[in-house]
Amino acid sequence: MADEASSSSNVSSRFRSSSAVSDDKDENVGSPVEDEGKIQKEPEEEGKIQKELEEEGNKLKREVGLFSAVMLIVGSLIGSGIFISPKGVLQYSGSVGACLLVWTLCGGVALMGALCYAELGTAIPVSGAEYSYFLYIYGTKGRFGPIPAFLYLWMCSLIIKTTTVAVQLLTFAEYIVEPMFPACPTPGAIKKLVALIAICFITFINCYSVKMTTRMNNVFTIAKLVAIAIVVSVGAYMLSKGNYHHLIAGFKGATSYSELGNAFYFGLWAYDSWNNLNFVTEELIDPHINLPRSIMIGIPLVTVCYVLTNISYFTVLSPDEVLASDAVAVGFADYALGPAAFIIPILVAASAFGASNGTCLIASRLPFAAAREGHWAELMSYVQLNHLTPAPALIFNGLIISIMICAGNIAGLIDLFSFVAWMFYGGSMVSVIVLRFTEKDLPRPYKVPLIIPIIMSVISAYLVLAPLIFNPQLEYFYAFVFLLSGLLLYIPFIHYGLRLRIMKKITHVVQLLLVCAPSESVPD
């Protein structure tokens, strides 16, 4: 395995070398005399410029403080999940009391998982989350080589992040289209068409301007907070009027333990992105302090918001009414807000759209980072020259997301996403334990109690194995096929460094169409 890690390192070097050559070719287009003059007169100056770029341009700025980190966690967690997951959680938990308990426990699971990631993030203070941790723990130590890191990137790019965006956009379409068909079921084809139009628009905006993407995120974050504030305020008013008869039913009708696994899937889907802060560790101010602190503040805050939102739903809607609607917040608004009910669908749609926009931004950086390490097609690391955005990676993600939208429904996508994601989350929890025994002297500014990663490893194993045992589905087989296909691609293209000639032609055509070139440094 040490040879495999060395081989991967050599592949990375070849990728970087080829990128540098491509840059030289692009920049030195002109007459032979001119090019020769540049080579003879400016080698020292070019060396100085390159050194400056390496010292300044290649380093991410630490600009994210504690408040911004907390807002990043809250903004990432509150997306479409709280507006679509209540139905699934109630369906599989069987009672209002069990439903609220699942929402609370899911918040606890997310908190424990994030604290395990806080130890990894402070001990291995680099961006990239699971990819960087797997590469450090297994790749550099010669245990398994870079295979775990590559498989994470492979599955994350094809399933985990893309499925997240597909679910969010289908939710967006659900809330946009459902009010137009009040007396009949919403046509699935129309919802998918709306979602496809949305992903095209998001991909265009992300390719056009990072600043515009950030501003759009800010607007939609405000919208989602306003939506939750309205729902919770109406719920508090209804409680003051004595509308709590659905809540006092407690655990009547609670389901079996095997079904609770599916309830946790839907609940944990709403809490997903609790590890997003680890993707920007290098940009945190005092990460050894602010990473664990922001987690301890942000996730409990979101948990309180989620539990209060669900309590508010049950002050207006009966359990049967919640189960009958795919857009719970719309039914809530129809009963509680009267003529102003149109506000909630708009805000919820904006929340789902904003979350998908932010996830697209993060998702595109995975193939982009992988390509820079030689673990993906070199084209994915190219940057659009006029707008300085990773346009090829964004378009690639947009295509995969479009396929997901066309192929699956929301429930199926959540099951597939959760199953695959918790395989890698569990691997990270095990990695915390492995590091404790293999690298006892590794500096750990934050050290989570060992019992927490042990508990999280057991929970992860249950969330992966329970669906296979109690509710086997064809989607899980597809997940394994994707995993194995990653291994089949790794051996020839990463381990042995095989290059397809057609990729040169494709790369050249895409460069011309998108006006992009290889990147030399991570953008600030």
The answer to whether residue 44 sits within a structural domain is no
Answer whether residue 450 is part of any domain: yes
The share of the chain scoring above pLDDT 70, in percent, equals 80
Higher confidence at residue 104 or residue 344? 104
User: Which backbone phi and psi does 129 adopt, to 5 degrees?
Assistant: 50, -130
Q: What is the mean pLDDT of residues 165-174?
A: 84
Q: Which of 151-165, 350-364, 424-438 has the highest mean pLDDT?
A: 424-438
Domain coverage including residue 446: 61-517
Q: Is the pLDDT of residue 363 over 80?
A: no
Q: Judge whether 328 and 317 are in contact, CB under 8 Å.
A: yes
Mean pLDDT over residues 28-34, rounded?
39
Structure tokens at 384: 């659009």
Residue 471: closest CA among 91, 29, 53, 52: 91
**Is the residue at 308 inside a domain?**
yes
Across residues 488-510, what is the average pLDDT?
A: 83
The tens digit of pLDDT for each residue in 386-435 reads 877 888 888 988 998 998 888 766 556 666 666 778 888 999 999 999 88
pLDDT at 147: 86
User: Distance between CA atoms of 139 and 141, rounded to whole angstroms?
Assistant: 6
Q: What's residue 59's pLDDT?
A: 40
For residue 199 the two structure tokens come to 């992903």
CA dist., res. 17 & res. 13, Å (int): 6
Number of domain units in the chain: 1
Indicate whether 18 belongs to any domain.
no
The answer to the question of residue 45 being in a domain is: no
> Rounded distance, CA 125 to CA 288, Å?
8
Confidence of residue 344 (pLDDT cuts 50, 70, 90): confident
For residues 147 and 14, the model is more confident at 147
Q: Are 98 and 254 within 8 A, CB to CB?
A: yes
15 lies in some domain? no
**DSSP conformational letter for 61:** P
> Which of 32-41, 146-155, 191-200, 439-448 shows the lowest per-residue confidence on average (mean pLDDT)?
32-41
User: Which of 213-222, 394-403, 442-451, 495-504 is predicted least confidently?
Assistant: 213-222
Residue 55 inside a domain? The answer is no
Average pLDDT over residues 139-147: 66
**Residue 10, domain member (yes or no):** no
- Residue 283 — pLDDT band, cuts 50, 70, 90? low
* Contacts within 8 Å (CB) and 24+ apart, 104-109: 104/303, 104/307, 105/264, 105/267, 106/264, 106/267, 106/268, 106/270, 106/271, 106/303, 107/271, 107/299, 107/300, 107/302, 107/303, 107/306, 107/307, 108/303, 109/264, 109/268, 109/271, 109/456, 109/459
Q: For residue 303, what is the domain's CATH number?
A: 1.20.1740.10
Dihedral sign for Cα 97, 267, 200, 281, please.
positive
Task: Output the six-digit token pair for 43.
Answer: 């080698």
